[in-house]
Structure 1
């Protein structure tokens, strides 16, 4: 069962219709949430517990300190939960062993960094308590952090106050605790609740009972799946309770839940473009960003689907389709739709095994992450990532045509472009350094990658692709993986964990630095000397810059991996 083009097209059409229906109301609501002058009662209680003044603005440095301090405390708490799970209440599935130290570090770094890379099988390793109190909590918190940073950059570009009715003060970018709390209370919690209810109604498991044992001795795990499934997708996290992730029928029972899950991981990243337009009163700019993200997403969907229908290799030709690693309930097209959406949003959830995709199909999924995951990107990260690329495009375009490097009335000076360049360079350095350092350890890679063979063979090229995918996924905070690489060795646990943390928090710091620099400027009127930043021309130029940066940076390693495998 491969899934015909018509069902695949129908699912994509339904998905686009659902996203279009949610775009305006959700985008408008989030704009209202982050600009509101009033605090809800529960929010006032939280501010009281934290002992913070919600009306006090912060500079970018203080905002960054609060964000990093909160994230560090989250890492320590999640690490401790894993190490102490044998003595804590289990909620139905006790474990005899604690999570070993290297794996606990990797998992803590992963979930706090919104990566949700899993080097373990959740149903066999963690208790329900750790899943709920540790992983699910971080699914909410890390997503709210990403949204907060996107809103900070939006405010800075528009020189907006962080509370409606007040005046914007130069140098102040917002209040981290307010942005974090509002994102959690007013956006993520209510929307995730609705999605969880829908998933339960359609057959997704939600149970606190102990595991069942059949008369044949087969153990069937039970867990609160739907509640974690909802936020793992809505928050573009990706870490599931089961090792098979969204290919598991307890997580993703049927084609309807499959569409709902893809919708969940795309809806906030796309709606944030509307939020940006509403806050700045500039929907033309929002539509330009939407066109760039949507155009790349659609193009990658067509290419990956085509690659999966192109039969390469004797096994695929004999079967009549690339069916290895695909869940038969979904087929080729629905799997490609999920794969493109998850690698384009830093989610990492999967409903098929990416390692089993055709060489070209798997290579395109790697490329989709290497583009920076801005189509439409993760919750928050997609918006601020695309805004940073847009600033780089303005700078390059201005040099080419002799126009002033300005973006939305903000001058792009040495300070701003330095922040942009540091942001752009972080991910490539982490990916290439990690891949190079790992491949230099030949025995380690041969022991870990089941496909690492003789140089010049397709098997060797696939092994390189597996290592490349791992560091690409970690450094982009995606979390999906090529399953042929076993990453339980301390080298992988530590280096991938470090890549997740640096890949998450260095770009955030550079973004906040950029926001602080912009917030100090006085907005300027757009003149005839300013390069237009809306419309088809600018959107095309932006896509060109995105592709050019990725092509120049990653073409050599892609040639050694997926491209070589496809040509051998």
Structure 2
């Protein structure tokens, strides 16, 4: 790299780190206040009366689970219905209803905070579906994730209460007090940066070659803001955040990266405040930041040093990347989106170098805990912390305790099941795509445009993205088929709600315990030694599960 590129990387990184550092404490403290305050606003009280909820009541983990599942089922039905009725809605732009399979897949996708899209947004959905169905789910699915994380934190903080809060209160507060005001501010900034926001139809324009082109409009800035803040990721346009109407300039791209990271990186502060020990939040933050920096650095090095004459002449592997963002602007965005479960893209991961394309995949395989999605990243890291405490206790003979709660057989079983859910879905879905003759024939004939090991990587990436509720695609797979719409939809549902059930069961188990005082045999969990152990558990326990299948896909392609 020349000096100018290195200076640009340093300046971009410093700006991002400074912005996140300035937001960490005030935003984290505010999030803690949102979920611990005893007062309700007027609009919140009106909402509770409308839905018939007693805001003063607390729920056991079983009741909390039922509320989450009931709310999500209603969301799936609503989004599915509004998509199937699209042709009768205002601002439908003359578009008909998507198929039953595609409507199911999309409804599940947005309710599960995945935002996987097996369609071209501007050619498939009208404005009403975009803002009344999809944008609404961008808010509430993100609020569900934060609510589950806070419920787990309450489990650590409580003493023999047996309750973990009220889901409906957590949902309403997360939406009205946190996500909505932040999204409004973010949308205004994006508008100032050139992101469009209108209800006009397409504009006809002439290209430089004289050909006619139809340029679609739409309420983009408002949806873009919450898609990033809520780590959702669905693009208004087919090419997502590489589209100049969604992401016009390098500084808007950096701002979008900031939006994806700001809440997940601030949640450890809220965790520390709620449990009464800020040092615990710093330990979690340190592990998240270390994995994030390492992943981004490796991906950038792989793409900047891409082998071959064309990449060397271009200064790096520029295929699939926007010139206005460059190598680092693309790899930083790609690492951020796949480490936060956002799924937005400003470059095409399918066009990365072979091993470089493995890194976004590996980011998701880690469980998206660095810093992860809003809520899901924190509760995923806390589950790994429970496992790390247990392993640490076995290694050095210390008592397996975390934040004053004993880690016994029940807690370890729940944590182990949590870790096994997504690998099972990813590997089973990929295997079935090739093991069943009829399905394999359809996949090879219709879906895979790049046969061989790269085609395997595309299918593996799809199931990794769906099962981890990320939503990004390798961009070389035709997924709008009956098999992929159904299989990926099931993977999204199970990948979202089975871990949530296990996390809430863990929260209930912890909430039922009393706190035990720290002794000489207690493993300190705020020191660098534990942070190193936790980072090792996050990488080794999760990533090595996928090593055999990676050797058949991206690693095999890279070595060839």
Alpha-carbon offset, residue 347 of structure 1: 0.2
2:115 is aligned to: 116
Alpha-carbon offset, residue 11 of structure 1: 1.3
Q: Please say if residues 423 and 510 of structure 1, whose CA atoms lie closer than 8 Å, have aligned partners that are also in contact.
A: yes
Alignment of 1:91-490 (within 5 A): 93-159=92-158, 170-214=161-205, 217-317=212-312, 319-440=314-435, 441-453=439-451, 460-490=452-482
Alpha-carbon offset, residue 8 of structure 1: 2.5
1:53 is aligned to: 54
2:38 is aligned to: 37
Q: Please say if residues 117 and 474 of structure 1, whose CA atoms lie closer than 8 Å, have aligned partners that are also in contact.
A: yes
Q: Please say if residues 287 and 531 of structure 2, whose CA atoms lie closer than 8 Å, have aligned partners that are also in contact.
A: yes
- Which one is further off, 360-369 or 35-44? 360-369
Q: Please say if residues 450 and 476 of structure 2, whose CA atoms lie closer than 8 Å, have aligned partners that are also in contact.
A: no
Q: Distance in 1 between matches of 2:97 and 2:544?
A: 44
Q: Please say if residues 449 and 466 of structure 1, whose CA atoms lie closer than 8 Å, have aligned partners that are also in contact.
A: no
Alignment of 1:485-524 (within 5 A): 485-524=477-516
Aligned length: 552
TM-score for both structures, normalised by structure 1: 0.95
Q: Please say if residues 355 and 555 of structure 2, whose CA atoms lie closer than 8 Å, have aligned partners that are also in contact.
A: yes
Alpha-carbon offset, residue 452 of structure 1: 4.3
1:501-533 CA deviation, whole Å, 9 max, x = no partner? 100000000000000011100111111111111
Q: Distance in 2 between matches of 1:429 and 1:465?
A: 17
Alpha-carbon offset, residue 279 of structure 1: 1.0
Alpha-carbon offset, residue 261 of structure 1: 0.3
2:26 is aligned to: 25
Q: Distance in 2 between matches of 1:299 and 1:217?
A: 45
Q: Secondary structure at the match of 1:58?
A: coil
Q: Please say if residues 338 and 351 of structure 1, whose CA atoms lie closer than 8 Å, have aligned partners that are also in contact.
A: yes
Q: Secondary structure at the match of 1:173?
A: coil
Q: Please say if residues 271 and 281 of structure 2, whose CA atoms lie closer than 8 Å, have aligned partners that are also in contact.
A: yes
Alpha-carbon offset, residue 96 of structure 1: 3.5
- Which one is further off, 310-319 or 328-337? 310-319
Q: Please say if residues 95 and 126 of structure 1, whose CA atoms lie closer than 8 Å, have aligned partners that are also in contact.
A: no
TM-score for both structures, normalised by structure 2: 0.96
Q: Secondary structure at the match of 1:213?
A: strand
Q: Which runs of 4+ in 1 moved over 6 A?
A: none
1:398-430 CA deviation, whole Å, 9 max, x = no partner? 111111111111011111111111101001100
Q: Secondary structure at the match of 1:172?
A: coil
Q: Distance in 2 between matches of 1:501 and 1:315?
A: 42
Alpha-carbon offset, residue 95 of structure 1: 2.8
Q: Please say if residues 220 and 246 of structure 2, whose CA atoms lie closer than 8 Å, have aligned partners that are also in contact.
A: yes
RMSD across aligned C-alpha pairs, in angstroms?
1.4
Q: Secondary structure at the match of 2:86?
A: coil
Q: Please say if residues 142 and 230 of structure 2, whose CA atoms lie closer than 8 Å, have aligned partners that are also in contact.
A: yes
Alpha-carbon offset, residue 443 of structure 1: 1.8
Q: Secondary structure at the match of 1:214?
A: strand
Q: Distance in 2 between matches of 1:559 and 1:478?
A: 22
- Which one is further off, 204-213 or 506-515? 204-213
Alpha-carbon offset, residue 319 of structure 1: 4.1
Q: Please say if residues 110 and 500 of structure 1, whose CA atoms lie closer than 8 Å, have aligned partners that are also in contact.
A: yes
2:15 is aligned to: 14
Structure 2 residue runs without a partner (length 5+)? none
Q: Please say if residues 118 and 479 of structure 2, whose CA atoms lie closer than 8 Å, have aligned partners that are also in contact.
A: yes
Alpha-carbon offset, residue 315 of structure 1: 4.1
1:366-407 CA deviation, whole Å, 9 max, x = no partner? 111101100000000000000000000011111111111111
Q: Secondary structure at the match of 2:164?
A: strand
1:82 is aligned to: 83
Q: Secondary structure at the match of 2:87?
A: coil
